[in-house]
Amino acid sequence: MKWSILALLLIFLSSGQCIHLPVQQLFFDGVGYSSNESSSRLAVSMNTALPLKRTNLRASWPKFQFLNWKVYSSNLSNEKSVFVAILARDKAHLLPRYLRCLENQDYNKELITIYINTNNNSDQTEEILKQWISENRGRYHEIIFDSHEILNMPESMPHQWSAERFSILGQIRNQSLKVAIESDCDYYFVIDCDNLIAPLTLKTLVEKDKPIIAPILRNIPKPRDLYSNFFYAVDENGYYLDHPVFWQIFYRMKKGTFQVPLVHCTYLIKKEYLPHLTYLDGTSDYEFIIFSRSARNHEVDQFICNEEEFGVQFAGDNISLEDEIRKFRPFLAIP
């Protein structure tokens, strides 16, 4: 089943009707692989001002080259290297789907470096990540795994945010930028763990060749929630302002790649712009507000692309982790 069927699913959800589709076919078409053995490694690198109790893993593993793509086959000779940032905490209920979407990206895995940062988990997040690394360690150029404990981490629900939590998240995101710069990859690609993206996403964004570009994402399981991962207009502090063009882009009445003042959740950045960007500026604003503000202040243009239905994001509420798992279970229960 093709990815475009997602549009049909969203239409049905928006109308309040019930539709039963094999969700695994929307996101998780299999990918065939062939391999050549060489060398790879699992590395750990992180320096931060946060007080940490750290667990580091380092090993030498065989590397494999992947050639036989099932979908969206393309000439890979001109592709750029990509640094993928995975920042995961208490996401065991989402990680299997999320990681499968990453595996299914139509992009040469030999050109992908993966950085995984996880901390203070109360579920099986770290165990799932370690198992995934064990199963995929030879498929990517490099996997960097950083598991640590932040001392005196404030207790809160998954989407209950405070100035202290924003600061911690900003430091973690800044660390991922630092490691990306050190890797010297051509692009930095961050995908929040509650975002599920189509196989064509990474390749499409790279081909756009923009300073910062995001794929449009839809919210589930809130079909009538019009929140997305971009703003078309912002106020003087960088927060959302309504604008008629936002709805034209959101509903894809206008299709293309559009310059906007803010993108977040999932986006691609060209490496030459990374030194100008930050998630911390001394304010108590949301870290993504600070990030896009730093981009605007340094004249680093941001874009949203809606030429395809690129994927979905799970809508966050101020609820407990247990309630979040129950809420998302209908979308995650299908093998």
Over the stretch 30-75, which tens digit does the pLDDT of each residue have? 332 233 333 333 343 333 334 444 443 333 322 322 222 233 334 4
* CA pair distance 265, 228, nearest whole angstrom: 9
Mean pLDDT score, 109-137: 96
Instruction: Say which residue the tokens 């930050």 belong to.
Output: 278
Q: What is the CATH number of domain 5-332?
A: 3.90.550.10
Q: Are strands 40-43 and 142-150 parallel, antiparallel or unpaired?
A: parallel
Q: What is the pLDDT of residue 253?
A: 96
Residue 158: pLDDT over 90: no
Q: What is the pLDDT of residue 317?
A: 61
* pLDDT tens profile 260-296: 999 999 999 999 999 999 999 999 999 999 999 999 9
Higher-pLDDT residue of 235 and 19 is: 235
Mean pLDDT score, 149-160: 63
- Asked if 233 contacts 251 with a C-beta cutoff of 8 angstroms, the reply is no
Mean pLDDT score, 305-315: 91
Residues contacting 322, CB < 8 A, separation 6+: none
- Asked if 56 contacts 146 with a C-beta cutoff of 8 angstroms, the reply is yes
The pair of structure tokens assigned to 149 is 């404990």
Q: What is the pLDDT of residue 47?
A: 34
* pLDDT tens profile 207-216: 999 999 999 9
Cα-based angle 17, 18, 24 (whole degrees, multiple of 5): 135
- pTM score, whole prediction: 0.76
Q: Per-residue confidence at 240, pLDDT binned at 50, 70, 90? A: very high
Residue 169: pLDDT over 70: yes
Q: What is the pLDDT of residue 226?
A: 79
Q: Are strands 218-220 and 311-314 parallel, antiparallel or unpaired?
A: parallel
Query: For residue 279, which of 186, 195, 180 has the smallest C-alpha distance?
Result: 180
Higher-pLDDT residue of 227 and 257 is: 257
Q: What is the pLDDT of residue 167?
A: 86
> 123-132, 141-150, 183-192, 220-229 — which is least confidently predicted?
220-229
Mean pLDDT score, 80-109: 96
Q: What is the pLDDT of residue 254?
A: 97
User: Phi, psi at residue 109, to the nearest 5°?
Assistant: -65, -25
* pLDDT tens profile 183-215: 999 999 999 999 999 999 999 999 999 999 999
Q: Which of 14-23, 33-42, 111-120, 320-329 has the highest mean pLDDT?
A: 111-120
What does pLDDT average to over the chain?
Answer: 78
Q: What is the pLDDT of residue 247?
A: 93
Q: Per-residue confidence at 332, pLDDT binned at 50, 70, 90? A: low
Domain chopping of the chain, boundaries:
5-332
Question: Residue type at 302?
Answer: Q
> 137-141, 171-175, 198-202, 226-230 — which is least confidently predicted?
226-230
Q: What is the pLDDT of residue 209?
A: 97
Query: For residue 85, which of 198, 202, 230, 210 has the smallest C-alpha distance?
Result: 202
Q: What is the pLDDT of residue 151?
A: 78
The SS3 of residue 1 is coil
Q: What is the pLDDT of residue 63?
A: 31
Residues contacting 260, CB < 8 A, separation 6+: 230, 231, 232, 302, 303, 304
Residue 21: pLDDT over 60: no
The pair of structure tokens assigned to 235 is 């106020």
